[in-house]
């Protein structure tokens, strides 16, 4: 069982969720080959063999990030750091192409391929989410969606994650592994 978990992360919150999902898959299926990677590292050859592709990113202005919203995030992070007298903490590749651009270049999958989508978002009802548009893009590339588009909550634009969200991501990863192993339904 091969699982590829691809994420875009600006301040590290989405990366932490992706890693927790990977941990959940490994706990549920110890023999699974799980690779957690940033979009910049997720080349077609790295995901071609995946039996399950999990893709996620942060929610920016109600949806998936764009070049413009990533630049706004970088500027906001720099401003916050300056006001605190610290250096800005941005994930490597935070300014580069994100999940939106990666999905646009994603080739059609092989028949029967399974995928799931997630995002990080604020907790209020009108915050929007990137997970549903990510799932829609995956579906357009032939993937069968498992586990529903799932959002994980950050307490502010730069985080941190709300308490318990990494554990919830780990449990969700285990549930996705169970679907893949045929112990549960999509």
DSSP per residue, 65-117: --HHHHHHHHHHHHHHHHHHTS-----TTTTS--HHHHHHHPPPPPTT-EEEE
pLDDT tens column, 113-168: 999 999 999 998 788 999 999 999 999 999 999 988 999 999 998 899 999 999 99
Q: How many domains does the chain have?
A: 1
Is 123 contained in some domain?
yes
The model's confidence at residue 185, banded by pLDDT at 50, 70 and 90, is low
Task: Tell whether the torsion through CA atoms of 180, 35, 31 and 150 is positive or negative.
Answer: negative
The contacts of residue 41 (CB under 8 Å, 6+ apart) are none
For the ranges 3-12, 69-78, 105-114, 166-175, the lowest mean pLDDT is seen at 69-78
Task: For residues 14 and 56, give the distance between their C-alpha atoms in angstroms, rounded to a whole number.
Answer: 7
Is 90 contained in some domain?
yes
Give pLDDT, residue 12. Answer: 95
Cis omega (within 30 of 0) for bond into 26: no
Is 60 contained in some domain?
yes
Is 56 contained in some domain?
yes
Is 66 contained in some domain?
yes
Give pLDDT, residue 148. Answer: 86
Q: Model pTM? A: 0.93
pLDDT tens column, 85-119: 887 778 888 888 999 999 999 999 988 899 999 99
Total Cβ atoms within 10 A of residue 42: 23
CATH number at residue 17: 3.40.50.360
Is 186 contained in some domain?
no
Is 185 contained in some domain?
no
- For 22, the domain range is 2-180
Return the ∠ at Cα 106 (arms to 101 and 109), rounded to 5°.
Answer: 155
The contacts of residue 35 (CB under 8 Å, 6+ apart) are 2, 3, 4, 5, 46
Is 175 contained in some domain?
yes
């Amino acid at each position: 069982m091969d699982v590829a978990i691809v994420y875009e992360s600006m301040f590290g919150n989405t990366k932490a969720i992706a890693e927790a999902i990977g941990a959940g898959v490994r706990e549920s299926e110890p023999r699974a080959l799980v690779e957690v990677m940033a979009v910049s590292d997720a080349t077609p050859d790295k995901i071609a063999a995946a039996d399950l592709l999990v893709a996620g990113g942060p929610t920016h202005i109600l949806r998936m990030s764009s070049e413009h919203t990533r630049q706004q995030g970088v500027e906001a992070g720099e401003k916050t750091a300056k006001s605190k007298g610290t250096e800005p903490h941005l994930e490597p590749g935070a300014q580069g192409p994100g999940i939106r651009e990666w999905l646009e270049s994603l080739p059609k999958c092989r028949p029967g391929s399974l995928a799931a989508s997630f995002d990080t978002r604020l907790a209020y009802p009108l915050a929007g989410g990137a997970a549903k548009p990510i799932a829609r893009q995956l579906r357009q590339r032939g993937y069968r969606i498992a586990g529903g588009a799932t959002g994980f909550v950050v307490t502010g634009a730069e985080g941190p994650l709300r308490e318990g969200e990494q554990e919830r991501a780990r449990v969700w990863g285990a549930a996705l592994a169970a679907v893949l192993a045929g112990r549960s339904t999509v």
